[in-house]
Structure 1
Amino acid sequence: MLFRPLTLLFLSVTGAGGLVGTTVTQAILESGGDVVCLDVMEAPNQAEWTNIEAAAKKYARTVSYHQCNQRSDDEVTTAFAKLAPALRHPIRGLVACAGVSDHGPATEFPSSSFTRLLDVNVTGTFRVAQAVAREVGRSNDTASMVLIASMSGYVSNKGVDTAGYNSSKAAVHQLARSLAAEWGSRVNMPLIRVNSLSPGYIRTAATAEALKRPGMETQWVGDNMLYRLSTADEFRAPVLFLLGDGSSFMTGADLRVDGGHCAW
């Protein structure tokens, strides 16, 4: 197994049954971690959740789902107060996947939508990371956090207007570095490594609509060196690497998995 028995906190705004969310959750279960899923949705997609529960049973792990809107301090506090006492092992990991990707011309994009992007993608990520860090402090054990950013935190996306999204993902990069600086050397606090993961374009339901635009898929495919879009399965190993002991000397870093998009 990659991990000692532990509880890894998995977070997804699109539902525990979302494509990337389901894939990463199952990977963690297969690797020996218990998983707690938090999501703004009242309940996960039942078909996908059935698969997740089957994986938990197969590998003798536990998985649970809790509704939580990470835009709310009270909901995050309430969720952790409820889930923490029921865990078999202290929380020692976080994969912060929650995010939205609204887009539109900057001349017309409502400032309220920009604020929402930042609140979900950045402040919401901070709220949950903070809650996890407090739990880690109580258990006095080490932990590893993976904040899902994006290659869009480095570059602007061709053919789609995403100023707010790009700005929020650049902020996630800086949030990871800043938390790593605090939690890697703070006196009287256990070590928490914090890294970010920056995917390139992934073929999911979230990108399907954009890919319907004439020429968009050809452009996105041609924008990276591998000349294709990624699949959710290709983020299993990167997430497990960042969570596990294989990355023990890695913190405050970003792992870019973009098919070479940013290396031209």
Structure 2
Amino acid sequence: MSNTADPAFREVKERPGPRVPTSDLLRLDGRTIVVTGAAGFLGLEVAGAILEVGGDVISMDIVSSPPAEPWKQLQETAKKHGRKIQYFRVDVTDPDSISDTFSTLGAELAHPIRGLVAAAGVSENGPAHEFSVERFRRLIDINVVGTFSVAKAVALEMKKADVGGSMVLVASMSGTVANKGVDTAAYNTSKSGVLQLGRSLAAEWGSRKGMPLIRVNTLSPGYIRTAATAEALKMPGMETQWTGDNMLYRLSTVDEFRGPVLFLLSEASSFITGADLRVDGGHCACADEQLLLLLLHS
């Protein structure tokens, strides 16, 4: 039975909106995009990319203020492109922090909120037999419940403004495969939860009456070379291990995620929802191939 037989679902027979010129497919003009985890490497990079293609940015993170030099550069980018960027301290595990922030946004926005990049998340390593339940629960609370809480708040803002939009929930390749050489059972579990959350929200908000049409996809990065991963890479053999686990034999850099995020936010991906975009250099495909070889030789 199709969804359209259920009165709770809208029936859409044609693509909504006019055909977008190819040169404008990645543009985000007339949109405000919320970015969580905005003080981190990925959040800062994505915010700058959004400003460059015409979007305004609402940056959110747990720290009281973003790093000074990168934030100064973002403000200069916003000025150069005639855009607006704001920063709010938000704890994604605190519903009051989220609702209080969104309740103050209305008068500040030049354009309605029509997008979300949910990049807030944490990772902790440790052998599973020594990893406390409290630490495990904290990762789930931040990475999964926090992602849901912000996505819900953004969806309600879209409903209030009666506009559709697109969400990008940042998962990880570790939600699909378990990484060799690192003990991250809790993190992997949480990112697997983000993948299922994305599919589930896409199913509801893509066709449910009473809600605007919101596309929801996930982004699964592979290893990124940042200051945050530098410590792990000091371990003997880890650089060789990580680079050798993918098809491009290198780690990614954070700027390589600008295109994938803009693609998922924009009209370039207008018929994509409930999908996971793996930007991992072929890491997961290598894992599939290795598993097949093991089965063939067993």
One of 118, 124, 133 as aligned partner of 2:140: 118
**Distance in 1 between the 2:116 and 2:245 partners?**
31
SS in 1 for 2:105: helix
Match of 2:9 in 1: none
SS in 1 for 2:104: helix
**Distance in 1 between the 2:120 and 2:143 partners?**
7
- CA displacement 1:125-171 (0-9 Å, x = unmatched): 00000000000000111110000000000111110100000000000
Match of 1:188 in 2: 210
One of 108, 112, 115 as aligned partner of 1:86: 108
Q: TM-score, normalised by structure 2?
A: 0.86
**Distance in 1 between the 2:78 and 2:193 partners?**
34
Q: How much does 1:19 deviate?
A: 2.1
Match of 1:43 in 2: 65
**Mean Cα displacement is larger for which, 205-214 or 26-35?**
205-214
Match of 2:32 in 1: 7
**Distance in 1 between the 2:229 and 2:237 partners?**
14
**Distance in 2 between the 1:113 and 1:39 partners?**
20
One of 172, 178, 182 as aligned partner of 1:160: 182
Is the Cα contact below 8 Å between 2:29 and 2:53 reproduced in 1? no
Percent same amino acid among aligned pairs? 60
**Distance in 2 between the 1:65 and 1:73 partners?**
18
Match of 1:102 in 2: 124
**Distance in 2 between the 1:222 and 1:24 partners?**
27
Match of 1:31 in 2: 53
Figure out how many residues of one structure are paired with residues of the other and give that number.
261
Q: What is the CA RMSD across the aligned residues, in angstroms? A: 0.8
Is the Cα contact below 8 Å between 2:223 and 2:251 reproduced in 1? yes
Match of 1:219 in 2: 241
**Distance in 2 between the 1:224 and 1:72 partners?**
37
**Distance in 2 between the 1:211 and 1:159 partners?**
11
Residue 276 of structure 2 corresponds to residue 254 of structure 1: yes
**Distance in 2 between the 1:152 and 1:158 partners?**
10
* Structure 2 counterparts to residues 68-83 of structure 1, below 5 A: 68-83=90-105
Q: How much does 1:205 deviate?
A: 1.7
**Distance in 1 between the 2:107 and 2:148 partners?**
22
Match of 1:61 in 2: 83
Q: Counterpart of 1:223 in structure 2: which amino acid?
A: D
- CA displacement 1:94-146 (0-9 Å, x = unmatched): 00000000110000001100000000000000000000000000011111000
Q: Counterpart of 1:124 in structure 2: which amino acid?
A: G
**4+ residue runs of structure 1 moved beyond 4 angstroms?**
none
- Over alpha carbons, which structure has the higher Rg? 2
Is the Cα contact below 8 Å between 2:30 and 2:112 reproduced in 1? no
**Distance in 2 between the 1:90 and 1:19 partners?**
26
**Mean Cα displacement is larger for which, 172-181 or 209-218?**
209-218
- CA displacement 1:194-229 (0-9 Å, x = unmatched): 000000000012211111111101100000000000
